[in-house]
Structures are given as C-alpha cells and as structure tokens.
Amino acid sequence: MVQRLRVPTVTDRRGNLSSIRAGVDVPFDIARVYYLHDVPFGAERGGHAHRRLEQAIIVLSGRFVLRTHDGSGWSETEMVDPTAAVLIPRLTWRELHRFSSGAVCLVLASRPYEEDDYIRDFDRFLAEVRR
C-alpha cells in the first residue's frame, strides 16, 4: 500500500526550501534520482511494477495523477503539492497520467536501474504479488 510522506520544508519571506534525507525522510537509501518533464498532453508514464525497488514520487511543479495497484485494488492520488511525497513499495503497479503543462515529477529510487526488476505486464504483476 502506498504511503504519503511530508517533505520537510522551511518557509520564510524569500520562499520555500524543501529537503529530503535518505533513511530519515524516506525509509531507504537513495541510489538514483530522476525526473519526468515536458510530458506531452495525453501521454502516460509508468505502467509497470518493481520486484525490489522502492520509490518516493514528488510533484515539483504543475500536476499529474498517480494511480497505483497493490494487488488487491486501485488507488489514485492527484499530485499537486511539492511538500508531499508518495512512497511506493515494491510490488506496486504504478501509472502516471493527466500531466499538466509544465509538470515536473521527481522520483527517488532505492536501487539503480535494473531491467530485470521491472514487471511490465499487469496480469504477470497480479500473479507475482499474489504468490
């Protein structure tokens, strides 16, 4: 099941500063950081699950919808707040869609890119998560 996390943020008259500490603000070491931007209107990202990897997903600007499935049901979160993160545990299907113009999605990953960690077929995901 996904979990919502607060991103520690300091606010003053000059604006906001948010920071994330590995193992403290997210419950894993951060092995990779990447971001999605300039996503064309109507495009979808994700459409997979991971066997070992955990992720924290944060909207930096704009908005998009994060849809997840934990093996028993769907959950949907509108990502609009850069001080909120969604923690996605292993064996959770994720889809990102309805990106606004200028949306930027930051992803903190617990592992480096490993193609064999991906499950790209939803029926196979359901079979693996139910084992």
Interatomic CA distance for residues 110 and 117, integer angstroms: 12
Say whether 48 is catalytic.
Answer: yes
Please name the residue that has the structure tokens 């109507």: 42
Q: Which of 37, 48, 69, 97 is an active site residue?
A: 48
The tokens for 103 are 């949306």
Strand order in the sheet with 74-79: 74-79, 64-69, 93-97, 45-50, 118-119
Please name the residue that has the structure tokens 């955990």: 54
Question: Which residues belong to the active site?
Answer: 48
